[in-house]
Chain A
Amino acid sequence: MKANGLLSASQSALMAVVGRLMGIIDVPLRYLQRKTGQTGMAAFFLAPNMAIFTVFVLVPFVINFVYSLTGGSAIFLSERSFVGAEQYSEIFACGNYLDPNSCKQDVFWIAAGNTAAFVVLQVSLMIVAALITALILNREIIGRGFWRAVFFFPVLLSPVVTGLIWRWIFQRQGVLNGVMQGLGLEPHDWLTERNSAFFASIGVSIWAHVGFYTLILLAGLQAIPKDLYEAAQMDGTSRQRVFWRITLPLLMPNLIVVLVLALIKAVQIFDEAFVLTHGGPGTSTMYLVQYIYETGFASELRNPGLAAAASILMGAVLVVLTLVQMAASRRNEKKGAR
């Protein structure tokens, strides 16, 4: 556009063409609106998205559910026998749900327990780490841009690369043991000892994703009005009080988003943990998605029906988490509106 605000000849011509095109579209759209009303128009505009959702989410979900009602190792549904809820009863056949060894599908329950422990620990530690990192990166520190990039960089890495890098660090002859030996300390079998392997998988997962959540919290911190802090400063409010009374409440919407996203992501843990520990030692880092993968694809005699049933159960947990997120968001919106 020219400095004086007038359109050039070519820009005017372009606008005229666009105007004509809009005019052409306008006729059928007006007709459609007359026929369907406002609700119908909304559906019309949503249709492309709904079509994509149907093809890539709804239909696979239905197929998966149908698989969970069938038995055998064949891939094609037409070659599989209908077994009803047998796969679900197989999973729930337990003497005592708190003792996986009493269950027929003991590895499923071990994997479910591991996933629950992973979710609780990883999500809490992740939120604390992301909050601390965001608070630090929000301050006027030297090289702030550089540090923000450093924390975000792991998010860009492929999970397989992340898993491999940390495997080389943690393995018996890895970097960490090399450093420890250099310092005169005894090396440790990080990936063959149950607890250290479990915490290694949590640590690596936090390292890989903390940058993403930090970014969300950083955006929240920057949206808090500065005058609130200035007023608090003038009142001589302590830093801790400022944090608990101003920062944290105003950051709550972002924290809820982080909490729910981190929860959903943690329930789906697979790739980097699988590359890092292969689910070992024993089954101590075997999480639900790995169980589903191994049952459906990697074992000598595949059982796609059982894998599908396990994934439906996991999907149910994810639906509950999503509902919790929606409820929390709504509650938060109402609070904000008051």
Chain B
Amino acid sequence: MMKSISILAAAGIALLSSTAAFAGDVRIMWYSDGVEGQVFKDLIAKFQKDNPDIKVTVDEVAYSTIKEQLPVQLAAGNGPDIARVTNLKSLAQYWLDLTPYLKDAEFWKKNYGDQLDWMRPDGSNIIPGFMTQITLTGGFVNKTLFDQAGVALPGEKATWEDWVNASAKVAKSQQVPYAFAIDRSGHRITGPAISYGANYIGKDGMPAPLDDAAKKYLTQLIKWNADGVSDKDVWVSASGTTYKPAADDFINAQVVMYYAGSWQIPNFMTKIGTNFDWVAIGSPCGPAACTGMPGGAGLVAMKDTKNPKDVAKVMDFLASTPIAKEFAERTLFLPSNKEVVAGGLDFKTDNKFAKEALNTFVKATTTTAPEALKLPGWKWSDTVYGALVSRVGQAMAGEMTADEAFKRIDSDIAEKVKAAK
């Protein structure tokens, strides 16, 4: 009975969510933050020219599709052949080990080895894919508004309070609705929390209860929201674990300071244009560090693919040094390929703000805290991020106190850990 029900359920899910490719085809699920979708399609067109026997289809989807629908498709065995993913570790059981199919596995280990643990199941040494870009979270400010308000930009070692207070002065003087915005994302608020001294990982490698440093930062964040300093639209006007970026508010000059990350540079370059001057400020300091959160998106192959050889051929092409270089230079993304980094990059832009911002983020990588570097490869990161977002969101909406939210965060995480066993 259980088996037949299981088969029926699987057939139903398969019918509803099937995106798998037929033999000979390679289907890629791709999301874009900015212009990278077009660049990627150009590169795929190049591949197709040299490999007419492999038909590559790129399905460009919203980031929320990758976050919410791809995991269900993978669990049902009906995902694409390749996907661009950010929650690489929590879905690691679905990735294909490309090692036996690659032209030169050593090339992959040498050039992409530093981030392979971010996408491997714990204790494994497979090669499931490569990072299309390395990112670091960090802030941006609208410099034109600062200049108009006559407020000086806080210096290099300025704290979170310094930046938010200065932005509040600017917002008041220039009648901008909000001083500061941070994406509705657990990953985004983790950089500042670590700067305050937070550590999510317990001695046993499992999630630790929220420590005082994390509580201190989150209390501050909730207060900034209650005081009207931070953009309510982003955190309050959603529920649960919904991801919500504040990029549009920054682009439309509705906030003075925006904390997101390096991936927004091409987006700002294209959409802000010459409307106002903007600068990247890296990560403001807390009592413990001045750190952002490393991360990025990886292109990974799926275990359930029917065409592992063709998939590996596409992956070999995309991971090759000239292609990775072209992708980075045209998208303005920080590459993960070591040969590309060593050979130097000529980012295809004349936009001085973008160039300066790229330099700021490269410099900011030197101050990334060890606690932050551990998280992309930690199995429970997404669980912690999810609990943080949903409960801090409720506290910001006035549904519970900060202390109640902290208790709920701990119990939510404990419950998820129990359910996963």
Partner-B contacts on A (CB < 8 A): 59-60, 62-63, 66-67, 71-78, 101, 106-107, 110, 171-173, 189, 191-192, 194, 197, 277-286, 290, 294, 297-303
Asked whether, in the complex, the Cβ of A294 is within 8 Å of the Cβ of B240, the reply is yes
Contacts of A171 in B (CB 8 A): 233
Contacts of B232 in A (CB 8 A): 189, 192, 281
Asked whether, in the complex, the Cβ of B383 is within 8 Å of the Cβ of A300, the reply is yes
CA A290 – CA B238 in complex, angstroms? Answer: 12
Q: How far is the CB of A99 from chain B (nearest CB, A)?
A: 12
Question: A279 with B2: in contact, given A75-B72, A300-B385 (CB under 8 Å)?
Answer: no
A-B contact pairs, 19 of them (CB 8 A): A63-B12, A66-B5, A76-B9, A107-B390, A171-B233, A191-B237, A192-B233, A192-B237, A277-B238, A278-B244, A280-B239, A281-B236, A282-B394, A283-B397, A284-B397, A284-B399, A290-B240, A298-B240, A300-B383
- A63 touches which of B9, B244, B390 (Cβ 8 Å): B9
Asked whether, in the complex, the Cβ of B233 is within 8 Å of the Cβ of A191, the reply is yes
Beta-carbon nearest neighbor of B225 in chain A: A192
Q: How far is the CB of A301 from chain B (nearest CB, A)?
A: 4
CA A77 – CA B2 in complex, angstroms? Answer: 7
Question: A197 with B72: in contact, given A278-B242, A279-B242 (CB under 8 Å)?
Answer: no
Asked whether, in the complex, the Cβ of B238 is within 8 Å of the Cβ of A283, the reply is no
Asked whether, in the complex, the Cβ of B72 is within 8 Å of the Cβ of A280, the reply is no
Q: How far is the CB of A241 from chain B (nearest CB, A)?
A: 48
Asked whether, in the complex, the Cβ of A282 is within 8 Å of the Cβ of B397, the reply is yes
Asked whether, in the complex, the Cβ of B236 is within 8 Å of the Cβ of A280, the reply is yes
Q: Does B416 make an interface contact (CB < 8 A)? A: yes
- A77 touches which of B9, B393, B416 (Cβ 8 Å): B9
Q: How far is the CB of A64 from chain B (nearest CB, A)?
A: 9
CA A72 – CA B421 in complex, angstroms? Answer: 7
Asked whether, in the complex, the Cβ of A301 is within 8 Å of the Cβ of B237, the reply is no
Contacts of B69 in A (CB 8 A): 297
Q: How far is the CB of A273 from chain B (nearest CB, A)?
A: 11
Q: Does B68 make an interface contact (CB < 8 A)? A: yes
Asked whether, in the complex, the Cβ of A75 is within 8 Å of the Cβ of B76, the reply is yes
Q: How far is the CB of A101 from chain B (nearest CB, A)?
A: 7
Asked whether, in the complex, the Cβ of B240 is within 8 Å of the Cβ of A78, the reply is no
- Return the 6 tightest CB-CB contacts between A and B, nearest first: A282-B397, A279-B239, A278-B238, A300-B386, A75-B75, A77-B6
Prevailing SS type, chain B contact patch:
helix
Q: Which residue of A191, A192, A279 has the most chain B CB atoms within 10 A of its CB atom?
A: A192
Q: Does B382 make an interface contact (CB < 8 A)? A: yes
- B237 touches which of A59, A71, A78, A281 (Cβ 8 Å): A281
Partner-A contacts on B (CB < 8 A): 2-3, 5-6, 8-10, 12-13, 67-69, 71-72, 75-76, 87, 90, 177, 232-233, 236-242, 244, 252, 254, 382-383, 385-386, 390, 393-394, 396-400, 404, 408, 416, 419-420
Asked whether, in the complex, the Cβ of B408 is within 8 Å of the Cβ of A106, the reply is yes
Contacts of A107 in B (CB 8 A): 240, 390
Asked whether, in the complex, the Cβ of B399 is within 8 Å of the Cβ of A283, the reply is yes
Asked whether, in the complex, the Cβ of A280 is within 8 Å of the Cβ of B238, the reply is yes
- A101 touches which of B12, B393, B400 (Cβ 8 Å): B400
Contacts of B236 in A (CB 8 A): 192, 280-282
Contacts of B90 in A (CB 8 A): 300-301
- B396 touches which of A71, A282, A290 (Cβ 8 Å): A282
Asked whether, in the complex, the Cβ of A282 is within 8 Å of the Cβ of B393, the reply is yes
Contacts of B13 in A (CB 8 A): 75
Q: How far is the CB of B207 from chain A (nearest CB, A)?
A: 12
Asked whether, in the complex, the Cβ of B396 is within 8 Å of the Cβ of A76, the reply is no
CA A298 – CA B240 in complex, angstroms? Answer: 9
Contacts of A303 in B (CB 8 A): 419
Q: How far is the CB of B309 from chain A (nearest CB, A)?
A: 27
Beta-carbon nearest neighbor of A64 in chain B: B9
CA A283 – CA B12 in complex, angstroms? Answer: 31
Contacts of A302 in B (CB 8 A): 71-72, 75
Known A66-B5, A283-B397, A286-B240; further 16 A-B contacts with Cβ < 8 A: A59-B8, A67-B9, A72-B419, A73-B419, A75-B13, A76-B75, A77-B5, A77-B9, A107-B240, A278-B239, A278-B244, A279-B238, A280-B239, A282-B398, A297-B69, A301-B386
Q: How far is the CB of B228 from chain A (nearest CB, A)?
A: 10
Beta-carbon nearest neighbor of A301 in chain B: B416
Contacts of B233 in A (CB 8 A): 171-172, 189, 191-192
Asked whether, in the complex, the Cβ of A173 is within 8 Å of the Cβ of B254, the reply is yes
Contacts of B8 in A (CB 8 A): 59, 63
Q: Which residue of A75, A194, A285 has the most chain B CB atoms within 10 A of its CB atom?
A: A75
- A299 touches which of B75, B237, B241 (Cβ 8 Å): B241
Question: A282 with B72: in contact, given A299-B386, A300-B386, A300-B416 (CB under 8 Å)?
Answer: no
- A76 touches which of B6, B252, B390, B420 (Cβ 8 Å): B6
Contacts of B6 in A (CB 8 A): 76-78
Beta-carbon nearest neighbor of A285 in chain B: B239
Contacts of A172 in B (CB 8 A): 177, 233, 254
Asked whether, in the complex, the Cβ of A277 is within 8 Å of the Cβ of B237, the reply is yes
CA A283 – CA B405 in complex, angstroms? Answer: 13
Beta-carbon nearest neighbor of B421 in chain A: A72
Q: How far is the CB of B230 from chain A (nearest CB, A)?
A: 12
CA A63 – CA B242 in complex, angstroms? Answer: 28
Asked whether, in the complex, the Cβ of B71 is within 8 Å of the Cβ of A282, the reply is no
Contacts of A189 in B (CB 8 A): 232-233
Asked whether, in the complex, the Cβ of B2 is within 8 Å of the Cβ of A283, the reply is no
CA A191 – CA B382 in complex, angstroms? Answer: 27
Q: How far is the CB of A78 from chain B (nearest CB, A)?
A: 5
CA A107 – CA B90 in complex, angstroms? Answer: 24
Q: How far is the CB of B343 from chain A (nearest CB, A)?
A: 38
Question: A194 with B397: in contact, given A76-B10, A300-B382 (CB under 8 Å)?
Answer: yes
Q: Which residue of B233, B400, B408 has the most chain A CB atoms within 10 A of its CB atom?
A: B233
Q: How far is the CB of B175 from chain A (nearest CB, A)?
A: 13
